[in-house]
Chain A
Amino acid sequence: MNDPGLAALLSGPTCLALGTGNATMTHRGLPVSWGMVTLAFVLAAALWALARTPAKGIESQGVSLGRLPLIGPGIRRLTATPWVLISLRMFLVALFLLVITAGLFGTPIPERNLATMLTWNLWWAGLVFSVLLLGTAWCAVCPWDALAHWLVRRRLWRRAEPNNSLNLRVPRPLRSVWPALWLFIGLTWLELGVGITTSPYATALVALLMVVLATVSLALFERKAFCRYFCPVGRTVGFYSQLSLVELRPIEAEICAHCRTLDCYYGNAQIEPCPTWLVMGRLTQNSYCISCGNCTQSCPHDNIAWRFRSPAAEAVVGARPRWDEAWFMLILLALTIFHGLTMMPFWEPAMRALARVIGDSGRLLWSFSAGLAACIACTSLLYWGAARWAHRWTGSTMPFRRFFATFAFTALPLAFAYHLAHNLNHLARESSGLGAVLRDPLGVHAQPLSLAEKHLHHLDTWIPLDVLWALQTGLMALGFVIALQIIRHRGRSALGEAGQPAWRLAPLILFACAVTAFNLWLLMQPMVMRF
């Protein structure tokens, strides 16, 4: 390398990785020292958990925002009026239509088109952070659902009677999260395999497809079956929101216990019923709440409000295990790991080697699909093995299927923590340049970024690297701690009230350790940038 300027750039946080026949731009991973400290913490916490018998269940104590002094009444008024949500929906629908326009009519250069930049570099990367801080708030303002609602109901927000839908019941085989899970795997395949993230046109097509699916579902089925059963983004947001810092819940449980009208479930003359069939008085998990605000507006007692809570409360105690949901959480973990794997510099050479073995050509989609299937299979088998081993060791009388589902919640914080840590990298390092794209959303006559511009973009992180690494390691440690809590507290029922030694849960703790260690290792590798 003769160019001293380039040499200086390569020694920084962004560098070029040379592969066979091509070169890619990568970002430096988490420093080894940070990774080792986190790993030491993980091992120490695991040893502690093995040595200590699990305590009794933890109490979920939240702080209702509606009850806070000074700001409480304001928050309650804001959530009780539909206009805040309507304004946000209108704004996001306008932005969404702009994304479709830019994707279909704009430049195919991904870094110069609003469709790819906004969808993949900002929304897709940032969505998971909104879940941590705001729960399922995204679903409340989702433009897919807003457009579908306006097209079918033909009302801005008030209840439509008749509601212009056939109101069919969703067929029984589809009344689970399996449809959303398959769509999510499909979306991952399109995103990472076909590479729609680098194609504004394909991005717009997927956006249009989601609107069509949401509209057709709303026109055919009762309530919002798309949000509840089919939407891959909504279900991912829903499951992750079990670990969010906020929840929409009754202020006084007693009021709900004595409620006879159940306006939250049935709606009233003005407000639509709960779109996902939830009764607020019995709500224990965020998974299916889409924060639409119908319950806050229809409750005759003004008894529904947002509240702060511990991010561990729901997954540790509140959420009930179900077979389909267990698989959703496990495969969510597998897919987050897979996202990380595909962005490693070794991924493409590995795919090319596999392609040669199986005779794959072109975009190597067969090889990619094999990699995706292998990642899902390995993660699932690892958990299945851990659960089977723990089931035997604990001598639990619980049927294995239920045992499997009960402890599958362990996968959730592990997936969420890695997803946050990984996306922090994307957000911090790839979101620069958005201003230029907003000024020219279609990229009319835009030129591709030059090498120097790309380097400058990637060097232009909006948080210092030390802070980024501290946040990443903190998230990984927190995810592991919550996973340990889930194993210990859910393990109380498996170990029996007599209290067997905690080391009988070792296989599940080992599973959490192995996944965290692997995810840490992924974070420590240089990451290939999106574009």
Chain B
Amino acid sequence: MRRVSLPGACRATRVRSLRHLFPGLALWFLTPSFAMAHHVLGRPAYSLNEDSNTPPSMQVETQIGDYFVTYMVFPAFPRPGAPGRINLYATRLDDGRPFHGEVTFKVRDDSWFGGREEILGVQSPDDNVYRQGFVFTDAGDYVITAEFESEGEPYVIDFPLRIGDPAPIGPIGLAVGTIVAVLLGVNLAQRRRLLTAKIRKARDEARP
């Protein structure tokens, strides 16, 4: 089984409507006019097409086994209760032929205690693009899994999806907690040292 987990999301391209996605993608692949950013596989990139008034989207490109996979999330920063969509496009690395089988999209909560996986849907290609809609009621970090099988070999691609604003208290809490714990520990150790020194001094002075 081929599996890939991406810790970040990638690049964004905006199209006028989803019906125009494939021509948009094709144009993007064929001409430089859709090139948006310093592109590195697996890294998030956001961009805006100035010809359109829709919100920006986010795009991730990756390579797995024999396939080059592109997926987009519309909008780039989905909110709870608002509909969004994932578009996935896979082509063979050797000859660029698009994948034509079915792709299963699953989702699971990416928090420490939320591991239950649900199937979002099983999609067939539409103009070589797999489209999966979603609506999340709660904000949080989720992992979307796209699964497909090619030549008897299963392919699994995980990528994170953030719904709503991030909760940055974790890193700050961890940093402040570590610092406070170390400083308290050092303070206690120092007090003990000073106390030991005092006792030793008093003992030395009491000695005849």
Residues of A within 8 A of B139 (CB): none
> Does A86 lie at the interface of the complex (its beta carbon under 8 Å from any beta carbon of B)?
no
Of all chain B residues, which has the CB nearest A101?
B168
Of all chain B residues, which has the CB nearest A100?
B172
Binding site for A on B (CB under 8 A): 2-8, 12, 29, 31-50, 56, 61-65, 68, 70, 76-77, 91, 93, 166, 168, 171-172, 175, 178-179, 182-183, 186-187, 189-190, 194
Residues of A within 8 A of B3 (CB): 361
Given contacts A23-B35, A166-B186, contact A450 B41 (CB under 8 A): no
Contact of A212 among B46, B50, B178 (CB under 8 A): B178
In the complex the two chains form, is A164's CB within 8 Å of B190's CB?
Answer: yes
> Does A75 lie at the interface of the complex (its beta carbon under 8 Å from any beta carbon of B)?
no
Given contacts A166-B189, A363-B62, A450-B47, contact A24 B183 (CB under 8 A): no
Q: Which of A33-41, A198-206, A301-309, A467-475 lies at the binding interface?
A: A198-206
In the complex the two chains form, is A195's CB within 8 Å of B43's CB?
Answer: yes
Contact of B32 among A18, A364, A447, A450 (CB under 8 A): A18
In the complex the two chains form, is B183's CB within 8 Å of A450's CB?
Answer: no
In the complex the two chains form, is B190's CB within 8 Å of A528's CB?
Answer: no
Of all chain A residues, which has the CB nearest B158?
A362
Q: Which of A213-221, A246-254, A270-278 lies at the binding interface?
A: A213-221
> Does A399 lie at the interface of the complex (its beta carbon under 8 Å from any beta carbon of B)?
no
In the complex the two chains form, is B48's CB within 8 Å of A448's CB?
Answer: yes
Give the complex CA separation of A195 and B41 in angstroms: 10
Q: Which of A104-112, A333-341, A489-497 lies at the binding interface?
A: A104-112
> Does A452 lie at the interface of the complex (its beta carbon under 8 Å from any beta carbon of B)?
yes
Give the complex CA separation of A211 and B171 in angstroms: 12
Within 8 A of B (CB), among A339-355: 348, 351-352, 355
Minimum-distance CB pairs A-B, first 3: A23-B35, A363-B42, A104-B168
In the assembled complex, 19 residue pairs joining A and B whose CB atoms fall closer than 8 Å, in A order, are: A1-B31, A16-B35, A23-B35, A105-B166, A105-B168, A108-B77, A151-B179, A164-B187, A166-B186, A195-B43, A216-B179, A219-B186, A352-B63, A361-B63, A362-B64, A449-B48, A450-B47, A453-B50, A530-B38
Task: Please give the number of chain A residues whose Cβ is less than 8 angstroms from any Cβ of chain B in the complex.
Answer: 60
Contact of A362 among B42, B46, B182 (CB under 8 A): B42
Contact of A208 among B38, B175, B182, B190 (CB under 8 A): B175
In the complex the two chains form, is A447's CB within 8 Å of B171's CB?
Answer: no
In the complex the two chains form, is A21's CB within 8 Å of B175's CB?
Answer: no
The prevalent SS among residues of B at the interface is mixed
In the complex the two chains form, is B45's CB within 8 Å of A219's CB?
Answer: no
B19 CB → nearest A CB, Å = 23
Of all chain A residues, which has the CB nearest B178?
A212
In the complex the two chains form, is A165's CB within 8 Å of B39's CB?
Answer: no
In the complex the two chains form, is B49's CB within 8 Å of A108's CB?
Answer: no
Residues of A within 8 A of B182 (CB): 215-216, 219-220
Residues of A within 8 A of B6 (CB): 362-363
In the complex the two chains form, is A166's CB within 8 Å of B12's CB?
Answer: no
In the complex the two chains form, is A195's CB within 8 Å of B8's CB?
Answer: yes
Given pairs A199-B43, A361-B64, 20 additional interface contacts (CB within 8 A):
A1-B31, A1-B32, A6-B33, A18-B35, A105-B168, A108-B46, A166-B186, A166-B190, A204-B168, A205-B171, A211-B179, A215-B182, A219-B183, A348-B40, A362-B63, A363-B41, A363-B42, A448-B56, A450-B49, A454-B37
Given contacts A1-B31, A10-B32, A104-B168, contact A529 B38 (CB under 8 A): yes
In the complex the two chains form, is B33's CB within 8 Å of A109's CB?
Answer: no
Given contacts A211-B175, A447-B48, A451-B47, contact A531 B186 (CB under 8 A): no
> Does A69 lie at the interface of the complex (its beta carbon under 8 Å from any beta carbon of B)?
no
Give the complex CA separation of A447 and B171 in angstroms: 26
B124 CB → nearest A CB, Å = 23
B183 CB → nearest A CB, Å = 6
Residues of B within 8 A of A361 (CB): 2-4, 62-65
Residues of A within 8 A of B178 (CB): 212, 216
Within 8 A of B (CB), among A140-168: 151-152, 162, 164-166
Of all chain A residues, which has the CB nearest B37?
A531
Of all chain B residues, which has the CB nearest A154?
B183
Residues of B within 8 A of A363 (CB): 6-7, 41-43, 62
Of all chain A residues, which has the CB nearest B189?
A166
Residues of B within 8 A of A1 (CB): 31-32
In the complex the two chains form, is A448's CB within 8 Å of B47's CB?
Answer: yes
Within 8 A of B (CB), among A173-219: 194-195, 198-199, 201, 204-205, 208-209, 211-212, 215-216, 219
Within 8 A of B (CB), among A435-451: 447-451
